[in-house]
């Protein structure tokens, strides 16, 4: 991912989170973007694996939203691009 794409996507995530549009999703998305852009320099492998498991959480909807956002941020996918 280019630095330009990273900045654009980060700004979009922050804007949408502040608007209140799925704030937990965008929190995870921002974290996933950082991991995609910085790689192993951001977080540990254990944290990365943990965040990926959140997407399948059947009990906590907030955790699931964060996990889905994280997964999408890693791939630079947003709800608009996956629909």
Q: How many domains does the chain have?
A: 1
**Structural domain range at position 41:** 3-78
pLDDT at 55 over 70: yes
* CB of 60 closer than 8 Å to CB of 15: no
pLDDT at 81 over 60: no
State pLDDT tens for residues 17-48.
999 889 999 999 999 999 999 999 999 999 99
For a pLDDT cut of 90, what percent of the chain falls above it?
81
pLDDT of residue 82: 52
pLDDT of residue 26: 95
pTM score of the predicted model: 0.89
Position 83 in a domain:
no
Phi, psi of 21 (to 5 degrees): -85, 95
């Amino acid at each position: 991912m280019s630095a330009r794409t990273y900045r654009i996507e980060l700004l979009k995530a922050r804007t949408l989170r502040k608007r209140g549009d799925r704030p937990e999703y965008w929190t995870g998305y921002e974290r996933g973007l950082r991991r995609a852009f910085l790689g192993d320099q951001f977080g540990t492998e254990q944290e990365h694996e943990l965040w990926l498991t959140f997407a399948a959480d059947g009990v906590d909807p907030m955790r699931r939203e964060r996990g889905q956002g994280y997964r999408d941020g890693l791939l630079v996918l947003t709800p608009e691009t996956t629909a």
